[in-house]
Amino acid sequence: MHLSVDGAEVYAHTGGRPFDPHRPAAAFVHGAGLDHTVWALQARYVAHHGWSVLAPDLPGHGRSAGKAPVSVAALAEWIVKLLDAAGARRAALIGHSMGAAACLEAAARHSARVAKLALLGCAARMQVHPDLIAAAENDPALAREMIVDWAHGPRGRIGGNPAPGLSIAHAARRLIDYAGAGGVLAQDLKACDAWAGGAEAAANVACPTLLILGAEDRMTPAKAGRALAGAIKGAELAVLPECGHMMMVEQPDLTLDRLRKFLGAA
């Protein structure tokens, strides 16, 4: 569906079911240079099991107008405005990478709006190597190749995708070309790199929280994710085997199983 947030038209996928603000809401927030399609399976499952789903394309990404958020804090505020636009008083927030950082900030700043928090591929700092930022600004194809290499575990590099016949690596290439075009990827990476509020936000989270990490994640290593989990009161932790940074596509079943257990019945 299409919503208006900050005066710009936003596309939000609803998992194949109409969004009903009277049902419990779950918002899936994608990471840098991506769009809602990274959540295709999980969003569809959750939407068909009693939840109202919002899986937006962030501003400037994919089908959404506007400019890419200038900071993680700005994206956190945007998420709350998205809930307003959809008529959702509270929602479970499920974020990946940059989207997870923004969901963490939103949960800390707007505790009344966030029922549950699931953070995938997240750490208290999301520093980005200056070479990658430089490539995203000057040579997007090189940046794309760096991300495809660094973001994936064995199923992304060689294959063995649980989804029959689909290539994880090449789908990532085409998605970054599409959703991260026009400087969007570079802006996202700079926002991640500049984010310094993770530790403070972690201390202020009051809702039930789950972290899902990839055992072979080279972008947000599991060690850093464990430290973040330790800083959030009562946080649950799942480290997925044979998995890099893109757990929703590399280990879609394990990711969904942990999410559905955490979210519980709608």
Partner 1 sequence: MAAPKHPRFATLSLHAGQQPDPATGARAVPIYQTTSYVFDDTDHAASLFNLERPGFIYSRISNPTVAVLEERLAALEGGVGAVCTASGQAALHLAIVTLMGQGGHIVASASLYGGSVNLFAHTLPRFGISTTFVKPRDLDGFRKAIRPETRLVFAEVLGNPGLEVLNIPAVAEIAHKARLPLMLDSTFATPYLCRPFEHGADIVMHSATKWLGGHGVAIAGALIEAGRFDWERSGLFPTLTEPYAGYHGIDFAEEFGPQAFVMRARAEGLRDFGACMAPATAFYILQGVETLPVRMERHVANTRRILEFLKTASEVGWVVHPELPEHPDHALAKKLLPRGAGSIVSFGIKGGREAGRAFIERVEVFSHLANVGDAKSLVIHPASTTHQQMDAGQLKAAGVGEDMIRMSVGLEDADDLIDDLKQALRAAVKG
**Shortest distance, CB of residue 47 to partner 1, whole angstroms?**
9
| C-beta closer to partner 1: residue 74 or 146 | 146
- Shorter beta-carbon distance to partner 1: residue 149 or 200: 149
Give burial (CB, 10 Å; 0-12/13-18/19+) of 265. exposed
Helices 184-194 and 130-138 cross at an angle (nearest 10°) of 160
Name which of 77 and 242 has its Cβ closer to partner 1.
242
Q: How far is the CB of 4 from partner 1 (least distance, A)?
A: 19
| Nearer of residues 63 and 226 to partner 1, judged by Cβ | 63
H or E, element range at 74 = helix 72-86
Nearest to 15 by CA among 103, 85, 23, 238: 23
Taking the complex as a whole, how short is the minimal distance between the CB of residue 225 and partner 1, in angstroms? 20
Distance (Å, whole) CA 87 – CA 81: 10
Q: How far is CA 133 from CA 88, 96, 216, 241, in A?
A: 35, 19, 22, 29
Whole-number minimum distance, CB 111 to partner 1, in Å? 30
Q: Binding residues for partner 1, per CB under 8 A?
A: 13, 16, 35, 37, 40-41, 44-45, 48, 62-63, 129-132, 142, 145-146, 148-150, 154-155, 157-167, 169-171, 173-175, 177-178, 242, 252-253, 256
